[in-house]
Amino acid sequence: MTIKPLIILPDPLLRQVSAPIERVDSELNQLVDDMLETMYDAPGIGLAAIQVGVPRRLLVIDVAKEGEERQPLVFINPEIVTSSEERSVYEEGCLSIPDYYAEVERPAAVTVKSIDRSGKEQTVEADGLLATCLQHEIDHLNGVLFIDHISRLKREMVIKRFTKAARSKI
């Protein structure tokens, strides 16, 4: 298992649309293990493959509370099949936009169809933090970031700040 470096805003990779996974094999499961280790190390409650530079439709999530047993979830080629009319607001953050947080409104509950790490189809009905996290991660697979759901002024300020920071690191 390896902790992989995280892709940070404004890296254009974060805007790439990830491609479907064609084979669930041991190589893919190696990537899943690396992503879980990277997520736990960060620490974060979710991670999309593109955040470690791999443009494939794969994400991992663990929304277990601190001190509770780990509950790693793996979603391959996930699709939202239903979204609730009800909305909920969470303060979101993103490992690719470190130390920036903002409230985002999304459907309060979603049903997500995907493949698990053994290659089996799974359907997960999620609400609460898991529903928000699933939508945040599936957005990543489509090149969408949580700052795309806030005001344009705030978004442009964040992008400007990270662009300046990246420039000063070269």
**Residue whose entry in the numeric block shows the structure tokens 């794969």:** 58
3-state secondary structure of 77: strand
The answer to whether 100 and 158 are in contact (CB under 8 A) is yes
The answer to whether 162 and 8 are in contact (CB under 8 A) is yes
Question: If contact means CB under 5 to 8 A according to the sort of partner, which of ligand GNR, Ni ion, none does residue 92 touch?
Answer: ligand GNR
91 is catalytic: no
What's the min distance (Å) between Cβ of 64 and ligand GNR? Answer: 13
Beta strands in the chain (DSSP E): 46-48, 58-61, 73-83, 87-94, 97-107, 109-115, 121-127
**Cα separation, 59 vs 34, whole angstroms:** 12
Nearer to ligand GNR, 115 or 134 (CB): 134
Question: If contact means CB under 5 to 8 A according to the sort of partner, which of Ni ion, ligand GNR, none does residue 93 touch?
Answer: ligand GNR
Q: Considering only residues 39 through 98, tell me which ones interact with ligand GNR, judged by CB under 6 A.
A: 44-48, 51, 90, 92-96
Q: Considering the rule CB under 5 A, would residue 94 count as an interface residue with Ni ion?
A: yes
**Residue whose entry in the numeric block shows the structure tokens 């999620």:** 126
**Residue whose entry in the numeric block shows the structure tokens 């699709």:** 79
Q: Considering the rule CB under 5 A, would residue 45 count as an interface residue with Ni ion?
A: no
Phi, psi (degrees; rounded to nearest 5) at 155: -60, -45
Q: Which of 27, 69, 85, 137 is catalytic?
A: 137
Query: Among 90, 100, 98, which residue's Cα sits nearest to residue 136?
Result: 90
Q: Considering the rule CB under 5 A, would residue 158 count as an interface residue with Ni ion?
A: no
Binding mask 123-152 for ligand GNR (x = CB under 6 A): ---------xx--xx--x------------
Binding residues (CB under 6 A) for ligand GNR: these are 44-48, 51, 90, 92-96, 132-133, 136-137, 140
Give the interface with Ni ion as residue ranges (CB under 5 A): 94
